[in-house]
Structure 1
């Protein structure tokens, strides 16, 4: 059961990373209304924090298998 929880947390983390990268790309290209560029900075910074978390969750899942 714990293995499924870890896999679910990994899936949620990856989904957040994808959404944040999409938000940053829309902000960078100018397709999103973001006059100050906060979406770009938030997307990049939060993705940089979540990437090691996703990697750790994936490694924990593989270790538990």
Structure 2
């Protein structure tokens, strides 16, 4: 797996984890501004990473 793909995997998992926590806390009326900010920041990083490079299966694969 290429380094950029590994970095994207980490960002995807981080976003998933933060979104899961945010949904749980929001549902219970416990969401804090800090949690919302952290999730927003992580999603912004993910968006930028996705825009930066083509990670699709049709992109050139590492030998």
TM above 0.5, one fold? yes
Aligned residues: 58
Query: What pairs up with 1:1-65 in 2 under 5 angstroms?
Result: 4-30=2-28, 34=30, 37-38=32-33, 39=35, 41-56=36-51, 58-59=53-54, 61-62=55-56, 65=60
Could you say what secondary structure the match of 2:2 adopts? Answer: helix
Q: TM-score, normalised by structure 2?
A: 0.63
Report the alpha carbon displacement of residue 50 of structure 1 after superposing the two structures with TM.
Answer: 2.4
CA RMSD of superposed structures (Å): 2.9
Which blocks of at least 5 consecutive residues in structure 2 are unaligned?
A: none
